[in-house]
Amino acid sequence: MSLKQQITEDMKTAMRAKDSERLGTIRLLLAALKQKEVDERIELDDAMVVAIVDKLVKQRKDSVTAFTQGGRADLADKEAAEIKVLEVYLPQRLGADEVAAEVKAIVAELGAKGPGDMGKVMGAVKAKLAGKADMGQVSAAVKAALSGAA
């Protein structure tokens, strides 16, 4: 069963259970998936679905930060609940040590030296770790690896 089919089945389950919060979040996700398919006239594979889910989670995290700073705990809680629903569809995240090890291996493989090679390294790392790690954490690990290599 593809990830997209799993999401659709989860929507049906949420409908039957009358779980309105979960249902609303899943419908937002399916709408984002459908929008991408219609805009680009393609059929999404699991990797593309994961990328969209990852983007939605990042948007929600940014919203939680903004709402918390604005003193709107009610809206921050709603966004946090949506994050929990969306994260179910992401693959297991790598820890900081695993990310650092992957980044060091890619830096060595590319022979990157210094901060000037950041773009080249980030391109390779994004391709390998997409959906498996938080890209902010990855970027910090790349900076650390390149500054150590300089």
pLDDT one-digit tens code per residue, 95-127: 888 888 888 888 888 877 777 778 888 888 887
- Give the type of residue at 6: Q
- Element housing 150 (H / E): none
Domain count, the chain: 2
Indicate whether 74 and 145 sit together in one domain.
no
Indicate whether 109 and 61 sit together in one domain.
no
Q: What is the pTM of this model?
A: 0.76
Indicate whether 115 and 78 sit together in one domain.
no
What CATH number did the domain enclosing 32 receive? 1.10.1510.10
What pLDDT, in 10s, does the model give residues 78-91?
999 999 999 999 88
Percent of the chain with pLDDT over 90: 53
3-state secondary structure of 112: coil
CA distances from 77 to 32, 134, 136 (A): 22, 21, 22
Query: What range defines the domain where residue 141 resides?
Result: 96-149
Q: How far apart are CA 126 and CA 138, in angstroms?
A: 8
Indicate whether 17 and 83 sit together in one domain.
yes
